[in-house]
Amino acid sequence: MPPRLQLNALAAFPPLPIVRLRVQFQRRLASSSTPDIYDVVCVGGGPAGLSLLTGLRNSKITSNLKVALVDGQDLQKNRLRKDASLESFSNRCSSLTPASVKNLQEIGAWSHAAQARIQPYQEMQVWDGISGARISFDWDSARPILSPRSPTQPTTIAYMIENINITSTLLSRLEELGGVHIFSSQNVSSIALGTEAPDVDLSSWPVLTLSSGKQLAARLLVGADGANSPVRTFAGIPSRGFDYSRHGLVATLKLAGPGWGGPDHKIAYQRFLPTGPIAMLPLPGNVASLVWSTTPERAAKLKALPESDFVAMVNAGFRLSATDLEFLHTMSSGQEEEVAWREQHTSLDTHTIPQKVTAVQSGTVASFPLKLRHADTYTGERVALVGDAAHTIHPLAGQGLNQGQGDAAALVRTISRAVQTGQDIGSVLALESYNSERYAENNAMLGICDKLHRLYSVESGPVVGLRTWGLKAVDAVGPLKGFFMNRAAGGV
Amino acid sequence: MNPLRHTFISRCLDTTPPSTNPLPEELRYLDIGCGGGIFAESAARLRTTASVTAIDPTPDVLAIAEGHKRRDPALMTKGKLTYLNTSIEELPVPGSEAEKFDVVTLFEVLEHVNAPGPFLESVISNVKPGGWLVLSTIARTWTSWMVTNVVAEDVLGIVPKGTHEWQKYVNEGELREWFAEKGGWGGNGGVKAMGVVYVPGLGWKEIPGGEAWGNYFFGVRRDG
Ligand SMILES: Cc1cc2nc3c(=O)[nH]c(=O)nc-3n(C[C@H](O)[C@H](O)[C@H](O)COP(=O)(O)OP(=O)(O)OC[C@H]3O[C@@H](n4cnc5c(N)ncnc54)[C@H](O)[C@@H]3O)c2cc1C
Ligand SMILES: C[S@@+](CC[C@H](N)C(=O)[O-])C[C@H]1O[C@@H](n2cnc3c(N)ncnc32)[C@H](O)[C@@H]1O
Chain A residues touching B6 at Cβ < 8 A? 420-422
* Model confidence at A392: pLDDT above 80: yes
Ligand 1: which of A26, A50, A92 to mutate, judged by most atoms within 8 Å of the beta carbon? A92
> Which one of the ligands is nearest to B138 CA?
2
* CATH level 3 topology of A3-111+161-238+376-453: FAD/NAD(P)-binding domain (3.50.50)
Q: Do A423 and B70 touch (CB under 8 A)?
A: no
Question: Mean pLDDT throughout A172-195?
Answer: 96
Ligand 1 midpoint to CA A70 (Å): 14
Q: How close B73 gets to chain A, by Cα (Å)? A: 6
The pLDDT > 70 percentage for chain A reads 79
- Neighbour count for residue A351 (Cβ, 10 Å): 10
Classify residue A105 as exposed, middle or buried by CB count within 10 Å of its CB (0-12, 13-18, 19+).
exposed
Q: What is the Rg, in whole angstroms, of the alpha carbon atoms belonging to chain A?
A: 24
Q: Do B3 and A37 touch (CB under 8 A)?
A: no
Ligand 2 midpoint to CA B89 (Å): 13
* Model confidence at A67: pLDDT above 90: yes
Q: How is chain A split into domains, by residue range?
A: 3-111+161-238+376-453, 119-160+243-368+458-488
Q: Measure the CA–CA gap between A219 and B72, rounded to whole angstroms.
A: 8
User: H or E stretch including A191?
Assistant: strand A188-193
User: H or E stretch including A42?
Assistant: strand A36-43
**In this predicted structure, what is the pLDDT of residue A83?**
86
Helix, strand, coil share (%) of chain B residues, nearest 5 = 35, 25, 40
**In this predicted structure, what is the pLDDT of residue A129?**
80
**In this predicted structure, what is the pLDDT of residue A464?**
46
- The answer to whether B41 touches B74, Cβ cutoff 8 Å, is no
Highest mean pLDDT among A92-96, A144-148, A399-403, B143-147: A92-96
Is the CB–ligand 1 distance for residue A223 below 6 Å?
no
Domain A119-160+243-368+458-488 listed as CATH 3.30.9.10: yes
Is the CB–ligand 1 distance for residue A52 below 6 Å?
no
ipTM of the complex: 0.79
Highest mean pLDDT among A290-294, A464-468, A478-482, B1-5: A290-294
Sign of CA dihedral A167, A169, A175, A177: negative
Ligand 1: which of A42, A91, A94 to mutate, judged by most atoms within 8 Å of the beta carbon? A94
B138 closest CA partner among B44, B69, B211: B211
Q: Which domains does chain B have, with CATH numbers?
A: 2-16+23-221 (3.40.50.150)
The pLDDT > 90 percentage for chain B reads 62
Of the candidates B41, B43, B71, which has its C-beta nearest A201's C-beta? B71
Is the CB of residue A60 less than 8 Å away from at least one CB of chain B?
Answer: no
User: H or E stretch including B182?
Assistant: helix B172-182
Chain B residues touching A37 at Cβ < 8 A? 73
Identify which has the larger pLDDT, A455 or A36: A36
Q: Any idea how long chain A is?
A: 492
Is the CB of residue A352 less than 8 Å away from at least one CB of chain B?
Answer: no
Question: Mean pLDDT throughout A363-370?
Answer: 93
Chain B residues touching A419 at Cβ < 8 A? 45, 47
Ligand 2 midpoint to CA B88 (Å): 10
Confidence grade of residue A480 (pLDDT, cut at 50, 70, 90): very low
**In this predicted structure, what is the pLDDT of residue A490?**
52
Using DSSP's 3-state secondary structure scheme, residue A429 falls into helix
Q: Measure the CA–CA gap between A194 and A215, rounded to whole angstroms.
A: 10
pLDDT tens digits, one per residue of A215-258:
999 999 999 999 999 999 999 999 887 777 889 999 999 999 99
Q: Considering only alpha carbons, which residue of chain B is nearest residue A200?
A: B70
- The answer to whether A195 touches A17, Cβ cutoff 8 Å, is no
Of the candidates A203, A219, A422, which has its C-beta nearest B42's C-beta? A422
**Phi, psi of B180, deg, nearest 5:** -65, -45
* Model confidence at B63: pLDDT above 50: yes
pLDDT tens digits, one per residue of A415-424:
999 999 999 9
> Which one of the ligands is nearest to B109 CA?
2
Q: Do B76 and A200 touch (CB under 8 A)?
A: yes
**In this predicted structure, what is the pLDDT of residue A4?**
35
- Neighbour count for residue A236 (Cβ, 10 Å): 14
Q: Measure the CA–CA gap between A225 and A390, rounded to whole angstroms.
A: 9
Ligand 1 midpoint to CA A491 (Å): 24
**Phi, psi of B44, deg, nearest 5:** -65, -25
Residues contacting ligand 2 via CB (< 6 Å): B 32-35, 38, 55-58, 61, 87-89, 107-109, 112
Q: Measure the CA–CA gap between B191 and B3, rounded to whole angstroms.
A: 20
